[in-house]
């Protein structure tokens, strides 16, 4: 908090709940929904809001008993980890009521009376993750009822806008920007100090960085065409552009979509991908699926082709354990894993997520079916926890449910391989020397070529197909 501290009694009375880090190293989360309002009574452990991180939607419980005093942010607002999001009156009804309500000061609203000698805005300065509050802000004395002279306010505002003297200003502080924005500016070769911020409290946003990058290259095409010829043809162009813009809708990139974009770019340009394909007869496996649906040991469980494909992949990994590894760039080591955390790509209303089944190699077929069912149900409800999406080793993505034959999947970051399952279709196929209608599918295996050579990748893919062609190999090879 950068506002003036309340008296000790009020500090003990009003407890602040900050945005926690609900994942590993996440720096921000968006408030999706508040379940309480000011004046509502809450108890320790009660869920007060739902937030969406870059990995999942998570419900946050309050660790206090009391009455909600204030909600610091509205729904749809992205908040940095460590910022106060709600205050609770833990001693309601006491005689000592707070004489002033600092909690009512809007987060992004400037305060009207800064000290003339302080060349800083008096607005509440947000605390960014990894950057503390400057000492100057914590030493500011409490505001009084009297406002500063209009001339002093104007002078400070002039300096803030960059038009006045800066002699009284403290040493230039670091420009305010979130870590991802700083990285973007660095990648584009831009100095944050030279970018004009448009975010609340002078925070530099991604849009500011992109605008600065565009401005740095925009003069070149203007110099090339100083005087275009006044022809009749170019006239409709502006109207066409305006019409096109009116038909466009822009959606902010955040939450799960933002995480997907970052992960896919990182994976595609870090791990050298190789993808191999195999098309085969899966008829016997489809017959086994139907038989298992009526098996008493599988009663109440979800039985489908994906279950047996997952089991086939686990057996293939057991036969070729070197494929189950990861690349440690920092230590220049290959990390071989004795466990398989099997990821299953799941499409949800918020985007694609990849939760994984821990220690899938140790599960029986009924246990694997139960785990798959829980994973899919939880993902569709949007309740997948960040922990469920961490530590994966290999992944399966089923594009066949959309009628697609196959694809070239991109590796989940930190994993060695991903298997794409295509649509299962009835096709003419040579079976026992005769052309017959058989159920056929295509699998695609993408793997990290730093870890997996072509021979190893080919053996893994061939083993999966061989098991699904002759599912009795689930017994003989396991």
Q: How far apart are CA 251 and CA 263, in angstroms?
A: 19
Helix (H) or strand (E) holding 10, with range, is: helix 8-13
The packing angle between helices 454-469 and 283-293, to 10°, is 60
Sign, CA dihedral 155-160-163-166, equals: positive
Helix (H) or strand (E) holding 340, with range, is: none
Is 69 annotated as catalytic? no
CB 83 within 8 A of CB 72: yes
Q: How many CA within 13 A on the CB side of residue 310?
A: 33
Which among 403, 404, 398, 267 has a CA at the least distance from the CA of 342? 398
Which among 85, 104, 103, 102 has a CA at the least distance from the CA of 17? 85
For residue 390 the two structure tokens come to 């961490």
Q: Determine the Cα angle at 313 with ends 404 and 306, to 5°.
A: 45
Beta carbons within 8 Å of 270's beta carbon, 6+ residues apart? 413
CB 245: neighbour CB atoms within 10 A?
9
Alpha-carbon distance values, 4 to 16, 138, 143, 147, 299 (Å) = 15, 8, 8, 16, 63
Q: How far apart are CA 353 and CA 375, in angstroms?
A: 11
Adjacent-strand bridge partners of 58:
51
DSSP characters for 146-215? SPPPHHHHHHHHHHHTT-S--TTSPSPPPPPB-HHHHHHHHHTT--GGGSPP-SGGGPBPHHHHHHHHHH
Beta carbons within 8 Å of 334's beta carbon, 6+ residues apart? 325, 326, 327, 328, 451
CB 70 within 8 A of CB 22: no
**Beta sheet of 41-42, edge-to-edge order:** 14-18, 84-89, 66-71, 41-42
Indicate the Cα dihedral angle 87, 89, 90, 94, nearest 10°: 160
Q: How far apart are CA 452 and CA 230, in angstroms?
A: 61
Out of 163, 210, 273, 449, pick the active-site residue: 449
Q: How many CA within 13 A on the CB side of residue 420?
A: 26
CB 86 within 8 A of CB 48: yes
Which residues form the catalytic set?
A: 449
């Amino acid at each position: 908090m950068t506002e003036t501290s309340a008296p000790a009694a009020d500090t003990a009375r009003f407890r602040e709940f900050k945005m926690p880090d609900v994942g590993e190293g996440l720096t921000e989360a968006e408030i999706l929904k508040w379940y309480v309002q000011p004046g509502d009574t809450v108890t320790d452990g009660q869920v007060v809001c739902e937030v969406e991180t870059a990995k999942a939607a998570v419900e946050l419980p309050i660790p206090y008993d009391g009455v909600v005093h204030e909600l610091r942010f509205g729904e749809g607002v992205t908040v940095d980890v460590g910022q106060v999001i709600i205050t609770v009156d833990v001693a309601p009804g006491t005689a000592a009521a707070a004489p002033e309500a600092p909690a009512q000061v809007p987060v992004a609203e400037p305060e009207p009376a800064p000290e003339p000698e302080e060349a800083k805005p008096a607005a509440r300065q947000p605390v960014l993750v990894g950057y503390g509050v400057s000492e100057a802000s914590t030493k500011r004395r409490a505001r009084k009822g009297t406002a500063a002279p209009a001339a002093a306010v104007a002078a400070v505002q002039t300096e803030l806008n960059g038009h006045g003297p800066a002699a009284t200003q403290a040493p230039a502080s670091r420009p305010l920007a979130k870590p991802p924005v700083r990285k973007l500016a660095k990648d584009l070769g831009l100095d944050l100090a030279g970018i004009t911020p448009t975010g609340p409290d002078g925070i530099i946003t991604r849009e500011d960085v992109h605008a600065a990058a565009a401005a740095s290259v925009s003069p070149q095409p203007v110099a090339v065409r100083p005087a275009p010829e006044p022809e009749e043809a170019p006239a409709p162009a502006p109207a066409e552009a305006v019409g096109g813009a009116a038909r466009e809708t822009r959606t902010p990139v955040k939450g799960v979509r933002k995480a997907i974009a970052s992960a896919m770019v990182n994976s595609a340009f870090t791990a050298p991908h190789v993808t191999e394909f195999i098309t085969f007869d899966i008829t016997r496996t489809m017959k086994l699926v139907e038989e298992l649906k009526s098996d008493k040991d599988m009663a109440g469980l979800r039985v489908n082709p994906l279950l047996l494909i997952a089991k086939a992949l686990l057996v293939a990994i057991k036969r070729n354990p070197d494929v189950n590894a990861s690349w440690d760039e920092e230590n220049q080591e290959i990390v071989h894993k004795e466990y398989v955390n099997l990821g299953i790509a799941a499409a949800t209303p918020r985007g694609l997520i990849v939760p994984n089944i821990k220690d899938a190699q140790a599960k029986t077929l009924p246990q694997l079916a139960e785990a798959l069912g829980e994973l899919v149900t939880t993902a569709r409800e949007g309740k997948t926890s960040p922990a469920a999406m961490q530590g994966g080793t290999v992944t399966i993505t089923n594009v066949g449910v959309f009628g697609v034959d196959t694809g070239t999947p991109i590796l989940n970051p930190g994993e060695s391989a991903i298997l794409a399952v295509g649509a299962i279709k009835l096709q003419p196929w040579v079976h026992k020397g005769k052309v017959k209608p058989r159920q056929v599918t295509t699998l695609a295996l993408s793997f990290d070529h730093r870890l997996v050579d072509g021979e190893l990748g080919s053996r893994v893919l061939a083993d999966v197909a061989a098991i699904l062609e002759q599912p009795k190999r689930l017994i003989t090879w396991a």
